[in-house]
Every structure is written in structure tokens, then in C-alpha cells.
């Protein structure tokens, strides 16, 4: 499966972004998808770990080591991710690779579905997070 590969140096929010600040609980790279850990730190979200790790809070705007400040976008009409492979109209969901997202049609059995956004250009996403708690069942 192919994860979207944001270019960390190119991640840029638009003027309409709802951005928040937090503290990194582990190494984070700009463009990573984040969740809020029980200790209050921001960490890499993961679609096939625990229910908590699949509750997306946003996309990192800057890279940070554990303990450093990290800003993230919770909503944005046009977040530049710099990846020239964004599919316009494609729905991006949390991937089972920590901190990554991929197209919804690439989700697999066991993945928890959290919608991160929709491609609006070859390099940008409309970030609109929807945490469903739905788990794709294993086929019989």
C-alpha cells in the first residue's frame, strides 16, 4: 500500500487553518498525522494499533523531537503537503504506518477508519478530520 509522502519542508497551512499547539511525545516530522496520548503529548497516529492511537487530532506543521513544541492543523481548506502525488478528490484516511495517511480504497481489514482529508490539488489537502471508530472487518 502507498502512503502519501508529504515533503516536510513544504508543509504549509492556509490563512483559513485551525491550528493548535502541543508538545511532542516522540519524534515528529512535519506532515505526520497525530493523536493526543493519555499523557497529553502529541504522538504518531496509527490505524491498526489501539483505539486511542486512531483518534486523529491533526497534521504536524513542524518537525519536533520528544518534549519540543509541535504545531498542528486540525482543519484547513487547503493545507499544502508538498507531495506531488495528492489525488484530487481522493479521500485520505489514517494508515497503519504510524503518522501516515493513504487513500481510503487502500484501507485493509483491521484498520480503524479515521478520515484525515480530501485532495484539492496535486499538492494540497482539505483537512476535515472524521474519527469514526469503525474497524474494517476481516473477510470470512
Report the CATH number that the domain containing residue 61 is assigned in CATH: 2.40.300
| 73 lies in some domain | yes
Query: How would residue 82 be classed by pLDDT, with cut points 50, 70 and 90?
Result: confident
Residues 6+ apart with CB under 8 A from 133: 51, 54, 112
Q: Indicate the SS3 state at residue 10.
A: helix
Residues 6+ apart with CB under 8 A from 83: 4, 5, 6, 7, 31, 123
| 88 lies in some domain | yes
Nine cell digits for residue 98: 504510524
Record the pTM. Answer: 0.94
> What pLDDT is recorded for position 88?
96
| 140 lies in some domain | no
Count of domains observed in the chain = 1
Residues of the chain above pLDDT 70, percent: 99
Q: For the segment 22-70, what is each residue's pLDDT rounded down to a tens digit? A: 999 999 999 999 999 999 999 999 999 878 899 999 999 999 999 999 9
| 2 lies in some domain | no
> What pLDDT is recorded for position 50?
79
Q: Position of cell 491498526?
A: 48
| 3 lies in some domain | no
Q: For the segment 12-23, what is each residue's pLDDT rounded down to a tens digit? A: 999 999 999 999
| 104 lies in some domain | yes
Residues of the chain above pLDDT 90, percent: 87
Amino acid at each position: 500500500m502507498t502512503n502519501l509522502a508529504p515533503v516536510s519542508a513544504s508543509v504549509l497551512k492556509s490563512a483559513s487553518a485551525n491550528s493548535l499547539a502541543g508538545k511532542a511525545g516522540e519524534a515528529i516530522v512535519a506532515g505526520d498525522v497525530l493523536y493526543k496520548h493519555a499523557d497529553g503529548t502529541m504522538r504518531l497516529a496509527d490505524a491498526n494499533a489501539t483505539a486511542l492511537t486512531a483518534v486523529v487530532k491533526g497534521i504536524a506543521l513542524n518537525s519536533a523531537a520528544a518534549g519540543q513544541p509541535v504545531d498542528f492543523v486540525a482543519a484547513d481548506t487547503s493545507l499544502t503537503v508538498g507531495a506531488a502525488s495528492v489525488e484530487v478528490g481522493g479521500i485520505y484516511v489514517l494508515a497503519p504506518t504510524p503518522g501516515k495517511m493513504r487513500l481510503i480504497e487502500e484501507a485493509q481489514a483491521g484498520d480503524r477508519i479515521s478520515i484525515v482529508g480530501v485532495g484539492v490539488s496535486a499538492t494540497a489537502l482539505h483537512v476535515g478530520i472524521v474519527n469514526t471508530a469503525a474497524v474494517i472487518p476481516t473477510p470470512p
